[in-house]
Amino acid sequence: MNITLRPGNAADALSCGAICYEAFKTIARQHNFPPDFPSPAFATEFLSGLLAHPGVYAVIAEFNGRIVGSNFLDERSTVAGIGPITVDPAMQNRTVGRQLMQHILDRAAQRRFPGVRLIQAAYHNRSLSLYTRLGFVAREPLSNLQGEPLAVQIPGYTVRPATEHDLDACNRICVQVHGHDRSGELCDAIRQGTATIVEHGGRITGYATPVAFFGHAVGETNEALKALIGAAPTFPGPGFLLPIRNGELFRWCLDHGLRVVQPMTLMSMGLYNEPAGAFLPSILY
């Protein structure tokens, strides 16, 4: 197929948003799961933000002059995050997705990122096979959790909005847990007023940007993450992602009424350190 790839721009948002919504809805319904995006308008608004962000690279796939897919590389932090990658359902299984993914991997190599990561829907066998063949390694089984806000306080732990003065302490925790920081994402979240930190014993022990599908969190202990989850006023989007190997935290969430929405998988290529603490990945990683 004669597929043309080009950089994305703000004018692509409407077409890409419609494709993004239909692509996720189609595959989710085939497996009896809810779609990641509730409406075309929501998907368009989300992709508009990515297309306009100077720290995010977008690639558009066209066939006969018509947009048929897109992919994104979040370049804000030390490790790059890939996605969302979507292809028009009418054009799937025709190598469009492979070309979009390979283009993004080439971009990451050119930019000398030490590693790239993504989150894969565990029920989607084709994407799992594609990413594995491209060189990704499955690192962490995840559950997407959703439910009513918990309004739970953990004794000795205080949660408050994050400020720019907290940035260094938060970055140190992320390096402690993951071996690298995610300062670009954290800076954006602080400016947007969505980031929170948790303090224990007079010092910062964790943060969230926020507890949400499109946010991540790290903590020195499970208690720090429990405090952040317990204080979250809502879990925006489809919910938040939790590594199910962390049985204590997973069980705590279930015991507090949160429910599993869908299974997902964290995959990586290149630099990856086994986490040395508690964390919640975003839909990027």
User: HEC profile for 245-282?
Assistant: CCHHHHHHHHHCCCEEEEEEEEEEEECCCCCCCEEECC
Q: Does 2 score more than 90 pLDDT? A: no
Residue 10 shares a structural domain with residue 64: yes
Q: Is residue 123 part of a domain?
A: no
Check: CB of residue 38 under 8 Å from CB of residue 80: no
Residue 90 shares a structural domain with residue 178: no
Residue 188 pairs in a beta bridge with none
Structural domain including 250 reads: 146-263+270-280
Say how many residues make up the chain: 285
Check: CB of residue 85 under 8 Å from CB of residue 49: no
pLDDT of residue 1: 67
The residue from 113, 136, 169 where one domain ends is 113
Q: Cα–Cα distance between 188 and 209 in angstroms, integer?
A: 9
Residues 24-58: pLDDT tens digits?
A: 999 999 999 988 899 999 999 999 999 999 999 99
pTM of the complete model = 0.94
Q: Does 11 score more than 70 pLDDT? A: yes
pLDDT of residue 260: 98
